[in-house]
Structure 1
Amino acid sequence: MKKITILKGTFILFFSLSLVQVLASEVPQPDENGDYLNVLHDLWVVTDTDPNGVNCRMPLGCTFQTIMNRECTGFTANYLEYPIVGTLQYGEIFRSYSSNRGQTFIDRRKLPWVFVGENLDGSTEGCFIRANIQFTRPTLGRYD
């Protein structure tokens, strides 16, 4: 009986640790520069504590749909040069939409950006912010 109890406890411990590892692996990790390159993840949280917020940029007259359909004449992959159309504050969670390749968007400097498709509080949406740990990171739906 004691052997069965020990094996049962060992199995539960092993299974619990495995589950924690699986859950932790659901959130993509940044590279050595803090960038989220080639990342496909739905929910992101703003990490920048600047009281002015994180700038969110978008070419004028463009929407996510026109960019994806390649109908946006102002879309040049120079994200840093796009006008600021809003800001996001520390701790805000947003739903992103991925590029046609199913991942973060890459600018001409080879730096990743994430599209803010829907801010969960209903404010800023429809723009890009840098996919870097200084500004934002993937989340499971809370600031974890």
Structure 2
Amino acid sequence: MEELLELQQLLISGNISEALLLVEEMTEMSKDDKLNKIFSFGIILLMHLIKQSAEKRSTKSWEISIANAVKQIQRTNKRRKTGGNYITTAELQETLEDAYQSALNQAALEAFAGKYDPETVAKMVDKEMILEQAIALILGNAT
């Protein structure tokens, strides 16, 4: 909020170059916030995809969590007024890759009643396939 007040003052005073720098900074802050939300929902999405793959089964709860995480990622990434997305598919891929280890750690706690450590669960699944599946679900290309 204080950034908006500062922007207003810069514009009123005619300091356009400083106002543009502040707008650029605010844009980056907004994008960082969106990336953080996508990262958090990405952990949830990947965790359930890892559990499905490792246990070779699914539950209604996992499926609903997957659908909710996908919806929240899509919603967070969608530009409301201009259409399109805030982050590119490459940035989405990078964010999910970054979230993967956290998701794997969480999945290890939940899959097989916590019987296996993350390294063991990692050997049970195909990381690249799970990341591809997550991207496909988010982009609406799931089969």
Same fold per superposition (TM over 0.5): no
**TM-score (normalised: structure 2):** 0.31
More helix by share: 2
More strand by share: 1
